[in-house]
């Protein structure tokens, strides 16, 4: 690991979901892009990360602990709601 950087000790499905969610939230304009500090809506990019989370949920169905499944479901549902709100607002 890089000098001076700390990473969560627990490596589980939540960590993967957080990585994908963070990228999706950047594309939704909910988090500033770390490269330029700006918040912009990239609907196609956000949809890509929502699709990845959906695929992760489908592929891990039945193999997660209840709290892991609930976490994944919650972050996915939250991103979908934000996506719909933002894309509807943009399209009128």
Q: Using one digit for the tens of pLDDT, what is the confidence trace for 25-39?
A: 999 999 999 999 999
Structural domain span for residue 56: 13-90
The verdict on residue 8 lying in a domain is no
How many domains does the structure of the chain reveal?
A: 1
Span 38-59, pLDDT tens digits: 999 999 999 999 999 999 999 9
Which of the pair, 75 or 90, is modelled with greater confidence?
75
The verdict on residue 58 lying in a domain is yes
The verdict on residue 4 lying in a domain is no
Residue 8 is predicted with a pLDDT of 59
The verdict on residue 34 lying in a domain is yes
The verdict on residue 41 lying in a domain is yes
Backbone angles phi, psi at 87, to 5 degrees: -75, -35
Handedness of CA 89, 51, 5, 7 (dihedral sign): positive
The verdict on residue 21 lying in a domain is yes
The verdict on residue 3 lying in a domain is no
Listed in order, strand segments (DSSP E) in 15-90 are none
Handedness of CA 75, 76, 79, 81 (dihedral sign): negative
Residues 25 and 42: beta-carbon distance below 8 Å = no
Task: Provide, rounded to the nearest whole percent, the portion of the chain with pLDDT above 90.
Answer: 82
């Amino acid at each position: 690991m890089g000098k001076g950087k700390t990473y969560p000790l627990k490596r589980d499905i939540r960590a993967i979901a957080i990585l994908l969610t963070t990228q999706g939230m950047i594309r939704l304009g909910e988090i500033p892009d770390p490269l330029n500090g700006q918040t912009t809506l990239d609907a196609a990019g956000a949809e890509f990360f929502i699709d990845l989370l959906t695929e992760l949920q489908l592929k891990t169905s039945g193999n997660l602990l209840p709290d892991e499944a609930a976490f994944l479901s919650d972050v996915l549902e939250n991103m979908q709601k934000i996506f719909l709100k933002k894309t509807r607002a943009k399209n009128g």
